[in-house]
Amino acid sequence: MVRKNLLLWSILAALLACAHVRAAADYMDETASQHDARMNWWRQARFGMFIHWGLYSEAAGEWDGQTTSGAGEWIMNDKKIPLSQYATLVPRFNPVKFDAAQWVRIAKDAGMKYIVITSKHHEGFGMFRSSLTDWCIASTPFPRDPLKELAAACRAQGLTFCLYHSIMDWHNPEYAPRKSWDDIDKNPPDFDRYDAFLKGQLKELLTGYGRIGVLWFDGQWENTWTYDRGADLYNYVRALQPGIIVNDRVGTTQALQPGQRRYGDYKTPEQTIPPNGFGPGVDWETCMTMNDTWGYKKSDHDWKSTETIVRNLIDCASKGGNYLLNVGPTGEGLIPDASIERLQETGRWIKANGETIYGASASPFARQLPWGRCTQKTAGGVTTLYLHVFQWPADGKLTVPGLRNKAKSASVLVSRERVATASGENGLVLSLPSHAPDALSSTVVLRLQGAPDIEAMPIMQDADGSVTLRASEAALHGGTVQYEAGADHDNIGYWLDASDWADWEFKLKEGGKFTVTAQTAAVGSASFEISVSGQTLRAESPATGGYGKFVPLKLGTIDLPTPGRIVLAVHPVKAGWQPMNLRAIRLEPFSPKR
């Protein structure tokens, strides 16, 4: 009997040791099917609400009667407010009008499927009742825990509750680098102690607030945040909730060394939508403000239109990405009316068109469509293309460029009105009703038997007669010039050699006289020439302040009277050439008024 017990104990000890080893395994090493299962709800969701809410919301973008120049949540930094003075916000912060169920209802009615709220922004203030510091909401007159209430409201209404948590911390004395406005603690920081505090608060959140869908890290760009700390934090969080999704800002922004990898489950372009997504199999989410600030700023009335919001959502989905749209509630706990109005209007569109977004995949077309966007779904051998028509054709004829399938069926989504289709020279031609059903965006549903059969087509003229020649679609010639992808670039760059050049082939449906403009960025002025159909325009890009600072440049007019295929080329002027970045060339029908 004793021998048997010894054997059992030794097996148990071995199993525990393995368990420990497994716990030390890297959660990034999951199988593709495990990863897909974990990401599935998020990929289906497509649309989420971002909430920036903190002490800065009470400041509302003003300090000592001065409006901050930057975003509301950066006011401590931008106004260099000493911590001892910033702390005067604590007794003022009392969101008596906060109503978690109402916030969730607003998000749900807008068609949003998840909410990401700041548990701690760079100010370091915990928007939850933390036992690890008094720099949290427990020190304010507000007697409740808003994150607990929001988590419960999300569960009650079927939305997924997620958290934004800043690695950078302007208040904690152990965080480094210390900030000049920290007038409280002058002891040298100990980053290991800060790391332990960071994990301690995350443990409070990941064990005390139910299931967390996404941990949205941020503030990872300072050099104290190393590769190893990012990898360790990713695994720490996954170990507490293995099914959680973690964004790519958990990891350091420092260059990767051989053998290292980017930690995080999806990319996070900010305030911009990548021109072509990030390619198949890469998950990403654009986060964007509704005005210009993340945290509430009473003076910021630069609101995006609902049309812009809806078309951004469609644009993201058409490229296989999510759209995380921000609201910045006030210190009283109210989401601004201007935000609510836009979310209600967006909700009305989504109510009628949601199937074209939720769970939809990226467009099968390699090139952006001249009249709008496309999302798709496939089931039972049938492909459904959702054609999001932003510019409804005046003549009712919509060409789907290069599409060679015969349609199984075509109809207007909201009215179910059937649409006739015919094969045309440039693709499938749909005969649409005379009026667009929805000014925000009108959806035409096109069903195909099998996969889309798409012929690569030249760049087409847009419905308004214009032609946009994007950097991403240029043919580049030479040894150094290259296309720089990514939301912040999307340009022809490294144009170091004046003998390198670029050209585009496009197809004119209607000839005429066109005004030619370019979007250029340069550190020193750069002269170049446009040549098309035997005509040449010479122009000079001014020094724009940087290779990322693009300005519109009017080049002149050209005559293209004959429809058909046309090649436009851009060559540097070799004498005195300075590198220039080029984002796009645009031809617009000439108007004397322009």
Catalog residues that contact ligand FHN under the rule CB under 6 A: 71, 73-74, 218, 270, 287, 294
For residues 290 and 387, which CB has a smaller minimum distance to ligand FHN in the complex?
290
For residues 165 and 388, which CB has a smaller minimum distance to ligand FHN in the complex?
165
Q: What's the min distance (Å) between Cβ of 221 and ligand FHN?
A: 8
Q: What's the min distance (Å) between Cβ of 240 and ligand FHN?
A: 23
Q: How far apart are CA 428 and CA 452, in angstroms?
A: 11
Q: What's the min distance (Å) between Cβ of 71 and ligand FHN?
A: 6
For residues 115 and 374, which CB has a smaller minimum distance to ligand FHN in the complex?
115
Q: What's the min distance (Å) between Cβ of 205 and ligand FHN?
A: 17
- Whose tokens are 């409201």? That residue is 153
Q: What's the min distance (Å) between Cβ of 487 and ligand FHN?
A: 12
Q: What's the min distance (Å) between Cβ of 248 and ligand FHN?
A: 12
Q: Which residues are registered as beta bridge partners of 431? A: 397, 420
For residues 76 and 444, which CB has a smaller minimum distance to ligand FHN in the complex?
76
SS3 577: coil
Q: What's the min distance (Å) between Cβ of 81 and ligand FHN?
A: 16
Q: For the chain, give the longest Cα–Cα distance.
A: 101
Angle between helix 191-208 and helix 227-240 axes, rounded to 10 deg: 20
Q: Count other C-beta atoms under 10 Å from residue 18's C-beta.
A: 10
Residue 518 phi, psi dihedral angles, 5° rounding: -135, 160
Cα torsion 137, 139, 144, 146 to 10°: value is: 0
Q: What's the min distance (Å) between Cβ of 74 and ligand FHN?
A: 6
For residues 73 and 248, which CB has a smaller minimum distance to ligand FHN in the complex?
73
For residues 51 and 521, which CB has a smaller minimum distance to ligand FHN in the complex?
51
Q: What's the min distance (Å) between Cβ of 118 and ligand FHN?
A: 7
CB-neighbour burial class of residue 428 (10 A; exposed 0-12, middle 13-18, buried 19+): buried
Q: What's the min distance (Å) between Cβ of 50 and ligand FHN?
A: 7
- Whose tokens are 């969730």? That residue is 104
Q: Which residues are registered as beta bridge partners of 48? A: 114, 324
Question: The tokens of 145 are what?
Answer: 């825990």
For residues 71 and 154, which CB has a smaller minimum distance to ligand FHN in the complex?
71
For residues 116 and 481, which CB has a smaller minimum distance to ligand FHN in the complex?
116
For residues 74 and 501, which CB has a smaller minimum distance to ligand FHN in the complex?
74
Q: Count other C-beta atoms under 10 Å from residue 6's C-beta.
A: 10
How many CA within 13 A on the CB side of residue 381? 2
For residues 115 and 516, which CB has a smaller minimum distance to ligand FHN in the complex?
115
Cβ-based neighbours of 124, under 8 Å, separated by 6 or more: 135, 166, 169, 170, 171, 172, 175
Question: The tokens of 441 are what?
Answer: 């965006």
Q: How far apart are CA 579 and CA 574, in angstroms?
A: 11
Question: The tokens of 592 are what?
Answer: 């004397």
CA distances (Å), origin 220, targets 122, 248, 434 = 10, 10, 52
* Residue closest to ligand FHN, measured at CB: 294
Q: How far apart are CA 389 and CA 56, in angstroms?
A: 40
Q: How far apart are CA 271 and CA 313, in angstroms?
A: 13
Angle between helix 100-109 and helix 337-353 axes, rounded to 10 deg: 40
Q: What's the min distance (Å) between Cβ of 366 and ligand FHN?
A: 30
Cβ-based neighbours of 427, under 8 Å, separated by 6 or more: 399, 400, 401, 402, 403, 404, 455, 457
For residues 298 and 447, which CB has a smaller minimum distance to ligand FHN in the complex?
298
